[in-house]
Amino acid sequence: MVNRSLVQAIVKAGEDLGVEVEEFRNKGAGEVDVIWRMNLHPGLPNLNVGFYAISEEDQIDIPDLTDLIGRGALSALDRLVFVTDTEEEKEMINGLVEQFDNIGGRLKLDKFVTVLSENELLTEPGARAERRARTMRGEQPAHRRPPRTVRLRQKPHGV
């Protein structure tokens, strides 16, 4: 069961940051609740961050978690974020991810999976969120100095 209010909170947070947002996107491996698509630099490919909204009623266990992570990996996501509606649910999912990592495989999920509570997603300090949004839009901060040009001294001829 999808928690629509949590999905809407994820969508709004992405829009506030100025990133391209897609809801309920299926890229061939199963539906992802929300995808944020960010272009950090014209020479780099887009960064795709997928989100799953998890509520207490979902009763997530290891097989469910591996299914969602597999969908995220097969959907060509660069990062997967589980957003929970409570801090307790966040800790429970973090514990499942750690259990999975402790099995000893080569894939370390903590490099691919992040777990946030809805509070953490929505309470980013305003100045930091605004700075990040400007960066996503490609704007330079007003206080930033232009890059310095460094000239190397050349050795005199005949030395």
Fold of the CATH domain 4-136: Trna Endonuclease; Chain: A, domain 1 (3.40.1350)
* DSSP states along 15-74: HHHT-EEEEEEE-SS-EEEEEEEE---TTSPPEEEEEEEE-GGG---HHHHHHHHHHHHH
d(CA 14, CA 79): 14
H or E element in which residue 118 lies: helix 118-122
- Per-residue pLDDT tens over the stretch 99-156: 776 665 556 666 788 888 888 887 754 555 666 666 666 665 555 555 556 565 666 6
8-state DSSP, 86? S
Chain Cα centroid distance, residue 156: 52
The residue-averaged pLDDT of 14-32 equals 82
Residue 40's pLDDT is 80
Total-model pTM = 0.71
Residue 30's pLDDT is 78
Selected residue with higher pLDDT from 156 and 45: 45
The residue-averaged pLDDT of 37-57 equals 85
Beta bridge partners of 81: 51, 114
